[in-house]
Chain A
Amino acid sequence: MSKKTMTLNLTEAEMAVLEELCDKKDLSKTVLLRQALRLYQRVEERLEKGDKLFFEDEASKEKAEIMIL
């Protein structure tokens, strides 16, 4: 599959976060950003359907909504 190239401008803070995450997950910047894009698309898909996105506390089973349309 052919690939397209893009230049990405990030602030210092954003770059720092990107590098930290890459280090932590042992992924290259491209791989990590592709994952981010996949997740973003999935989340949008569900939100558009009317679903909600929650984090659940493992211990208390309490749910906290993290994205409001």
Chain B
Amino acid sequence: MIATTPSDVTPVWLTKRSIKETVDAELWHGIVDKNLADWEAEWIPDLQRRLKLLNLQKVERRFWPQSRYWDWRDKLREIERRLANLSFAIVAEDMTQAMMTIDLTKRARMPGHEGQHLVYIDFLEAAPWNRNDLAEEPAKFGGCGSILINAAIQQSILEGFKGRIGLHSLPQANSFYANACEMTDLGQDATYENLRYFELDPDSARSFIEKGKGE
């Protein structure tokens, strides 16, 4: 049974691109039924609409954005009772804007940190209307990725893993992790769809969550 309320809620703020202002939002500790309902009722139809547009514009199939086939409900059912996994969602204007699941049992690969515990981000996805790589208007809300990375880092600190995190990036997101998050690029992983694997060491993690904190 998927839960109906998250175990905790952290207030956060997203940037609404159209008005260039920040709006109130919430970081839910735990993906619950409402988030999955939003995914089914809003994310999927909107994604299909945008894919149709790409198709109409004759954009080649291989350039279509990845993560079209993610099934969040399946994933949540799988990790529901597992201590090894946690999930998060960002909600704004009563709609789920992004989701993430993490694994607490993986180890670091970065030279100097091999074998150390870290928070591994299994999956991270923004709602279709918050993406830049799909057809039509620019992203609606910005900041979801950073907030989720921040959450993963703080969870890592809570767990005693000193802020270490790791993830396999989707190709269109390589720039975000490399530049905005300043993660270390450990190269393409042949054992995982050739996706690029990134990690953040304790010092860089600390500086990411401190950066621009209280100016």
A and B touch in their complex, CB below 8 angstroms: yes
Number of interface residues of A (CB under 8 A): 14
Q: Is A16 an interface residue (CB 8 A)?
A: no
B84→A27 contact, CB < 8 A:
no
Contacts of A1 in B (CB 8 A): 7-8
Give min CB distance, A25 to chain B, whole Å. 7
Q: Is A17 an interface residue (CB 8 A)?
A: no
A27→B7 contact, CB < 8 A:
no
Contacts of A56 in B (CB 8 A): none
B-contact 0/1 string along A1-44, CB 8 Å cutoff: 10000000000000000000000011110010011011101100
A42→B82 contact, CB < 8 A:
yes
Q: Is B105 an interface residue (CB 8 A)?
A: yes
A-contact 0/1 string along B62-91, CB 8 Å cutoff: 000000000000000000001110000000
- Docked CA distance A31–B161 (Å): 9
- Docked CA distance A34–B82 (Å): 12
**Per a CB cutoff under 8 Å, which of B7, B82, B105, B116 touches A45?**
B82
- Docked CA distance A42–B83 (Å): 8
In which size bucket is the chain B interface? 10 to 19
Q: What residue of chain A has the Cβ atom nearest to residue B84's Cβ?
A: A38
Contacts of B117 in A (CB 8 A): 25, 27, 35
B84→A28 contact, CB < 8 A:
no
Please count the residue pairs between chain A and chain B whose beta carbons lie under 8 angstroms apart in the complex. 30
Q: Is B104 an interface residue (CB 8 A)?
A: yes
Contacts of A45 in B (CB 8 A): 82
A41→B160 contact, CB < 8 A:
no
Q: Is B159 an interface residue (CB 8 A)?
A: yes
Q: What residue of chain B has the Cβ atom nearest to residue A41's Cβ?
A: B83
**Per a CB cutoff under 8 Å, which of B84, B159, B160 touches A42?**
B84
Q: What residue of chain B has the Cβ atom nearest to residue A39's Cβ?
A: B105
Q: What residue of chain A has the Cβ atom nearest to residue B162's Cβ?
A: A26
Contacts of B116 in A (CB 8 A): 25-26
- Docked CA distance A35–B159 (Å): 9
A31→B160 contact, CB < 8 A:
yes
- Docked CA distance A45–B105 (Å): 15
A-contact 0/1 string along B93-124, CB 8 Å cutoff: 00000000000110000000000110000000
Give min CB distance, A33 to chain B, whole Å. 11
Give 3 nearest A-B pairs by CB, closest first: A31-B160, A38-B84, A38-B83
**CB pairs A–B below 8 angstroms (19 shown):** A1-B7, A1-B8, A25-B116, A27-B117, A27-B160, A28-B160, A31-B160, A34-B83, A34-B159, A35-B104, A35-B105, A37-B83, A38-B82, A38-B105, A39-B84, A39-B105, A41-B83, A42-B82, A42-B105
